[in-house]
Amino acid sequence: MSRSWRQRVGFVLACLVAVGAGVGLALGARGGGDTPSGAVVVTTASVTATLPAPPPVAAARLFLVGFAGTSAHDPGVRALADHDWGGVVLEPHNATSTGQVRALVRAIKRDGRGSPPLVGIVQPGGPGSTLPRLPPVAQGDVSVAREAGRTAAEAARAQTALGVELTFAPIADLAYPSGPMAAVGYSADPQVAGDLVRAAVTAYRDGRLASAPGAFPGQGAASQDPSSGPGTVGFSLDELRAADVQPFAAAVAAGAPAIQLSNAVYAAWDGVTPATLAPEAYDLLRRGTGFGGVAISADLQATTAVTGGSVARAAVGALRAGADLLWVPGDAADQDAAVKAVARALRRDPALRRHAAEALSRIALLRSRYAAP
């Protein structure tokens, strides 16, 4: 058994130790229930507050991070080895070609400390993708489920060939004509969008590429794109359930192993807290759709444009609200501060340790199903 496989197996087993006898796990085959093949589900009735690693290590494993650089020789890439990150995410500034990305992924996997991080990519299709010439095609160019499935299957083959294990796709926001997702979502019709999202998630799952549809509970009606600045969604909770949540429910039914939260603020709750920091949003995701997989926070640097606080504070807040993986692109100083803040919070708060143990179990199951050999 290779060193990387020993590390991966050891990480999975360590995380599963945190799961007590009252935990139900569903992974892979349908078995006796309706969980689709490839789904990652952890339902918890009794989980101890014991972490599978010391707080600084456990904290790092709860993070997805971005980085600067395009090769193993760049300081930003070398610095990734300073922490046992849960995952790293490739963005447009990290990519120049498919060959370069393949070599970069190999270096990240080889040089990481502890268990190799999951490698994700921002690749929803179209000009905002890390590799715009790589599948899938832009979602606005897709109108039928068969085509959504076909282009997602092509994307799964292309991305897994590069060593990528997680894709931030498909976009499950409704493409309201006057909203910020008009040009990038599938459709403004919840049924149509749900059918296309279901087809794409199924194709990714069958291609052994973890998909993370976003941005829950739907930001198609936001006053502006929350990645550009504060965006407000004025719908009531009933309106969200009847429309915007429907494509996410379709993704869950298709076995999406991860869902990303939104940075928009919602009138359905307090109208000032981004969904990624709102416990109500995670409750709607878990209880409202039956989702048992990995909940990924929104971009926590962008979150601070709404909250005015630090990335470190946003990271702790997202974890308390219910996030499993904390997404911090870019600045290494922000990432270091956030890891330290989460580690401090884990030391002090038994309830947060309990949630972190659950989160690490979900992440371990995601790894066991989708991590590249």
Q: How does DSSP classify residue 320? A: H
Among candidates 249, 252, 219, which has minimal Cα distance to 234? 219
pLDDT in tens, the chain (373 residues): 444 444 444 444 444 444 333 333 343 322 334 567 667 655 544 344 688 889 999 999 999 999 999 999 999 999 999 999 999 999 999 999 999 999 999 999 987 666 889 999 999 998 889 999 999 999 999 999 999 999 999 999 999 999 999 999 999 999 999 999 999 999 999 999 999 999 999 999 999 999 999 999 999 999 999 998 899 999 999 999 999 999 999 999 999 999 999 999 999 999 999 999 999 999 999 999 999 999 999 999 999 989 999 999 999 999 999 999 999 998 899 999 999 999 999 999 999 999 999 999 999 999 999 988 7
Domain boundaries of the chain, sorted by first residue: 52-348
Give residue 37's pLDDT. Answer: 60
Give residue 238's pLDDT. Answer: 97
Give residue 25's pLDDT. Answer: 35
* Six token digits for residue 358: 């659950």
Among candidates 163, 240, 237, 148, which has minimal Cα distance to 195? 148
What b-and-e string marks burial along 315-334, b requiring 16 or more CB atoms within 10 Å of the CB?
A: bbbbbebbbbbbbbbbbbeb
Task: State how far the Cα of 223 lies from the Cα of 244, in Å rounded to an integer.
Answer: 15
Provide the pairing of β-strand 210-211 with 326-328. unpaired
Collect all residues with Cβ–Cβ distance below 8 Å to 87 and sequence separation of at least 6: 63, 64, 65, 117, 118, 119, 120, 166, 325
Q: Which residue is listed with tokens 């030391």?
A: 347
Give the pTM.
Answer: 0.89
Give DSSP secondary structure letters for 256-300. Answer: -SEEEBP--EETTTTSSSBGGG-HHHHHIIIIIH---SEEEP--H
Give residue 129's pLDDT. Answer: 96
* Six token digits for residue 261: 């939260």
| Run of H or E residues at 332 | helix 332-348
CATH number of 52-348: 3.20.20.300
Give residue 39's pLDDT. Answer: 72
